[in-house]
Amino acid sequence: MAVNLGYKEYFKSDALPLMWCAGCGNGIILRAITEALSDLHIPPHQVVISTGIGCWGKADDYMKTHAFHGSHGRALAFGTGIKLGNPDLHVIALMGDGDALAIGGNHFIHAARRNIDITAIISNNFNYGMTGGQYSPTTPLSSSTTTSPAGVAEPGFDVCALSETCGANYVARTTAYHVTQLKRFITAALLKQGFSMVEVINTCPTHFGRRNIPGDTVSMMKYLKDITVSKAGYEKLDEADKEKYLVTGELVNRERPDYLSVYREMNPGGPETDRGEGH
Amino acid sequence: MSRPEGIQLMEGNHACAWGAIDAGARFFAGYPITPSSEIAEVCARELPAYGGIFIQMEDEIGSIAAIIGASLSGKKSFTATSGPGFSLMQENLGVGIYQEVPCVIVDIQRVGPATGLATQPAQADVMQARWGTHGDHSIIALSPATVQEMYYLTIRAFNLSERFRTPVIILGDQVIGQTYENIKLPDPSSLDIIERIKPFVSPEDYFPYQPDKNGVPPMAAYGDRHIVHASSTCHDETGYSNFKTQTNRALLTRLKDKIYNYTDEIVDVEHFGPDHAEVTLISYGASSRVCKYVVGEAEKEGIRVNLLRLISIWPFPDRIVREALGKTGAVVVAEMNQGQLIGEVNRVNATNTPVYLASGIDGALIDPDIIMAAIREALK
Amino acid sequence: MNKTNMAVTIRIDEAFCKRCGFCIEFCNANVYEADKDGLPLVKDPEKCTNCRLCELRCPDFAVSVEVVDNE
Ligand SMILES: Cc1ncc(C[n+]2csc(CCOP(=O)(O)OP(=O)(O)O)c2C)c(N)n1
Ligand code: SF4
Ligand code: SF4
C-alpha cells in the first residue's frame, strides 16, 4: 500500500514558498481544495485545475494534478472543452472576482445556465490583486481602489444570486476565515453533478485591505468575519441591517440535469468511434 | 443524414465538416456567423453518431477556448468562423500556439473590417492569420480553391496540427465555403491520418514539454496518468511557470524552429500553365480559380502567362516564390484585398522582378478584367 | 495537558512563514505568541486541543500539528 500523503498528493510542496503576499488567503483556499480532494480520494490524474489570470490564477503552479492556465476570464470556457473532451474528469475552475465576473462574466453565466459539470471556486477579494488593486465587479460601492480614488461609483455583483439565477446546481458562500466550512463546501461542490460554485470572500491585505481596512493582515482577516453572517443569523437581522452583511452558507443545492446528460439523451448517437467507423 | 457516398453536389462548408470528421475530429465548438455556419450545422447533426460532441458557445472567444480544452483532453477538435469571430479568437489562438495544442480553425473570409460587406467574399484576413495574435509566433495556414480541395485540406490541416502540435488555420473564403461543386468523399480507410505522438516514457519520467528530436513534445491527455501542466505563462519542459530569460528564449526558439525548420514538409503549391512565361500570376484560394481562367484568356491574346498557386500560405514558401520571381518577366499577385500577400512576394524578390497587384475588393469573386489589366500593365 | 491525552508537536516552517499572525491571533487556546519579528512561537503546546484550525488557516502551509501518541 502506498502511504497516504493527504493533501500533499495534490499539493506541490516543493514549490513552496508560495508567491502570494503575507496574509493573502489564496493559500488557505488552496489548502482546502487539496484537503477536500484527499478526503474524496479522487486520483490526481482525474482532476484538471483550470485557472484564470490573476493572483488566484497562479494556483495551478502549486498543483500536482493535471492543470490548465490560459487567458484572463476564460477558465470556464477552456474548462467546458476539457470536460466535454473527457467527461470522466473533475474540472475545477479557479478564478478571481475580476476574472470570473468582469472579463469572464459571459462564460460564467453561460456555464451556470448550461449547468455543465464543473466546480468554480471564486476568490472574491473585492479587487484586482495582480494588477495593483483596481476596482472589480464585486468591489463594494464607495470603496477606495487605485482606479476609484474617490470611491467606486458602481454597485458590486452578488455572485451567489447571479449563479442561482443562471441555473447553477450548487451555490455556496464562505470566507477564507471559515476554514472548516470552506473545506466542507468545496467537498460538496466537487460531489455535485452539474455546475457548482463556491464564492470565497478573501483577503487582499496588500491592496483592498491597505486602502479600506485600517490595521494589518489580521485586521483584514477579521474584516471577513465582520462582514459575513450565517443564513440563520441573517434571517434574524432587521431589514435595514441585512444590506450590511454577506450571507454565508449553502445557498442553492438542487438537482437539475447537467448539460452533458441532457445532450446525450437528445443525441444518443454512437459510442466513441475511430474515424470512418461511424455511419 | 449519413456520410455522402458517390459523387455528390456539395458546398465547401459541408466538405470541410466531412473532411474534419474523416480526419478524426470528435469535438466542434462554434458561434454562428455567415458564411461559415453550415460547418457548425453539419457538425451538430453528424458528430453524435461518431461519439463526438457539438457545442454552440456563447461567443468565439469561448469557442476557441473550448476546442483547445477538448484537444488537451485527447479529442481532435475544431471551430469555424468568419472575420469578426476570427478577430475575437486571436488571444486564445496564441494560447493554443504557446501550449502546443493541435486544433483547426476555419476562417471563411468575408469583407471587412468590422461588419463590412457581411457574407460577401474577401481574402483580407491573410496577414491577421499570420500576425493576429500578439507576440512572436509561427503559424500554419492553408487556402483551398475548390470544394474537393476543401475536403482534403481540412484533413491535411488536422494532420499538420497533430504532427506539429500546433493550431492550423484554414483560410477559406465565402466563394469556396458556399459554392456547390461535385465532389466525391473517398473511402475513409484510404486516407492517411496522423495521430498525435503519445509519451513513450512512464508517468514518473514524463515532462509534458520535453521535445522529441524534431522539437515536438509527445502529448499525453488530461485523464492519463502522465500529468499534463499546460500553461500560457513562460514554462520549462515541466510545463510549470519559469521566468528565467533563457527559458523564454529556448521556448520561443523551439516553437519557431519546430515549424520553420520543416517548412518544406508543409509547403504545398500548384504550378499551372506553361513552364516559362512573360508574366507569372501568384494567387491562392478563390482568386486562383479566376487566375486559371485568365491564363487561358491571355494565351488567346498571345500572352504567355502561368500561375503559381499557393495551397499553403503560412509558412510562406520563400524559396519557391523566389524561384518563380527569378524565372519570369513580371509577377502579378491576385488577391481579394488591397494587397496583403504581395508584401511577402516583395520580401523574397531577390531578382527585383517587377511585381504588380491585381486587387479585388468588390465583395465578389475577383473580376478577370482586373487581373488582365494588371498583366497588360506589367507588359508595358 | 490537553483533554485528549495526546501530546502534539506543532512545527512552524520558518522558511515559508510570512508572519501574517493568523495562527497567533485566531488560536482559541492561545498556544502561540509572536517573537519580536512577528514569527509565531509555540508558547503553550500543552494547551493545544488539536483542532488543527491554525494548520488550515495558515496561508503558507507553514504550520503542521502532529499528534504524538503518548503511550
Ligand atoms: C485580456 C487581458 N486583460 C487584462 C489583463 C491584465 N490582468 C491580469 S490579472 C487581472 C485582474 C486580476 O484580478 P482578479 O481576477 O480579481 O484576481 P486576483 O488577482 O485579485 O486574484 C488583469 C486585469 C490580462 N492578463 N489579460
Ligand atoms: S496582491 Fe492581494 S490577491 Fe495578490 S497575492 Fe497579494 S494579497 Fe493576494
Ligand atoms: S499563519 Fe502561517 S504564515 Fe501566518 S504567522 Fe502563522 S505560521 Fe506564519
Reduced to 3 states (helix: H, G, I; strand: E, B; else coil), residue A248 is strand
For residue A250, which of A155, A167, A165, A186 has the smallest C-alpha distance?
A186
Cα dihedral value A265, A269, A273, A277, nearest 10: 170
The answer on pLDDT for A274 being more than 70 is no
Q: What is the mean pLDDT of chain A?
A: 95
Query: What's the confidence (pLDDT) of residue A4?
Result: 83
- Tens digits of per-residue pLDDT, A4-49? 899 999 999 999 999 999 999 999 999 999 999 999 999 999 999 9
Is residue B203, in this structure, part of any structural domain at all? no
* Structural domain range at position A218: 6-266
Q: What is the DSSP string of A182-193?
A: HHHHHHHHHH-S
Structural domains present in chain C:
3-63 (3.30.70.20)
For residue B332, which of B271, B296, B293, B280 has the smallest C-alpha distance?
B280
Between CA A191 and CA A243 the distance in angstroms is 32
Q: Are A153 and A170 in contact (CB under 8 A)?
A: no
Is residue A97, in this structure, part of any structural domain at all? yes
Mean pLDDT in residue range A82-101? 98
Is residue B85, in this structure, part of any structural domain at all? yes
Q: Could you say which of B57, B227, B232 has the minimum Cβ distance to residue A69?
A: B232
- Span from the CA of A92 to the centroid of ligand 1 (angstroms): 19
Instruction: Please count the structural domains in chain B.
Output: 2
Confidence band for C67, pLDDT divided at 50, 70 and 90: confident
- Tens digits of per-residue pLDDT, B64-111? 999 999 999 999 999 999 999 999 999 999 999 999 999 999 999 999
Is residue A48, in this structure, part of any structural domain at all? yes
Is residue A1, in this structure, part of any structural domain at all? no
Instruction: Please count the structural domains in chain A.
Output: 1
CATH, residue B334? 3.40.50.920
- Tens digits of per-residue pLDDT, B223-256? 999 999 999 999 999 999 999 999 999 999 999 9
Query: What's the confidence (pLDDT) of residue B380?
Result: 92
- The CA distance from A18 to the nearest CA of chain C, in Å, is 6
Number of H helices, E strands in chain C: 2, 4
Mean pLDDT in residue range B188-216? 97
Is residue A103, in this structure, part of any structural domain at all? yes
The answer on pLDDT for A197 being more than 90 is yes
Is residue B204, in this structure, part of any structural domain at all? no
Strand-pairing partners, residue C33, are C41
Q: Is C33 on the interface with A (CB under 8 A)?
A: no
Ligand 1 nearest atom to the CA of residue A72, by list position:
26
Between CA C62 and CA C59 the distance in angstroms is 8
Between CA B316 and CA B276 the distance in angstroms is 22
The answer on pLDDT for C4 being more than 90 is no
* Chain C, nearest residue to A12 by Cα: C61
Same domain, B182 and B277: no
Question: Domain ends where: B164, B190, B216?
Answer: B190
Query: What's the confidence (pLDDT) of residue A278?
Result: 36
ipTM: 0.97
Question: Domain ends where: B190, B209, B236?
Answer: B190
- Tens digits of per-residue pLDDT, A203-224? 999 999 999 999 999 999 999 9
Is residue A276, in this structure, part of any structural domain at all? no
The answer on pLDDT for B309 being more than 50 is yes
Q: Kindly state the percentage of chain B with pLDDT values over 90.
A: 98
Q: Kindly state the percentage of chain A with pLDDT values over 70.
A: 96
Is residue B111, in this structure, part of any structural domain at all? yes
Q: Kindly state the percentage of chain B with pLDDT values over 70.
A: 100
Between CA B101 and CA A65 the distance in angstroms is 19
Question: Domain ends where: B190, B208, B237?
Answer: B190
Grid cell digits, residue A17:
514558498
Is residue B218, in this structure, part of any structural domain at all? no
Query: Is there an atom of ligand 3 within 6 Å of C31 CB?
Result: no
Same domain, B77 and B170: yes
Reduced to 3 states (helix: H, G, I; strand: E, B; else coil), residue A75 is helix
Mean pLDDT in residue range A198-202? 98
Is residue B334, in this structure, part of any structural domain at all? yes
CATH, residue A48? 3.40.50.970
CATH, residue B152? 3.40.50.970
Q: Is A81 on the interface with B (CB under 8 A)?
A: yes
The answer on pLDDT for A277 being more than 70 is no
Grid cell digits, residue A58:
497562479
State which of C12, C14, C22, C24 you would mutate to test the pocket of ligand 3, scoring each by most atoms of that ligand within 8 A of its C-beta: C22
- Tens digits of per-residue pLDDT, A129-157? 999 999 999 999 999 999 999 999 999 99
Confidence band for B2, pLDDT divided at 50, 70 and 90: confident
- Span from the CA of B346 to the centroid of ligand 2 (angstroms): 50
Confidence band for B197, pLDDT divided at 50, 70 and 90: very high
Is residue B46, in this structure, part of any structural domain at all? yes
* Structural domain range at position B334: 268-379
Strand-pairing partners, residue B168, are B104, B140
For residue B208, which of B251, B238, B240 has the smallest C-alpha distance?
B238
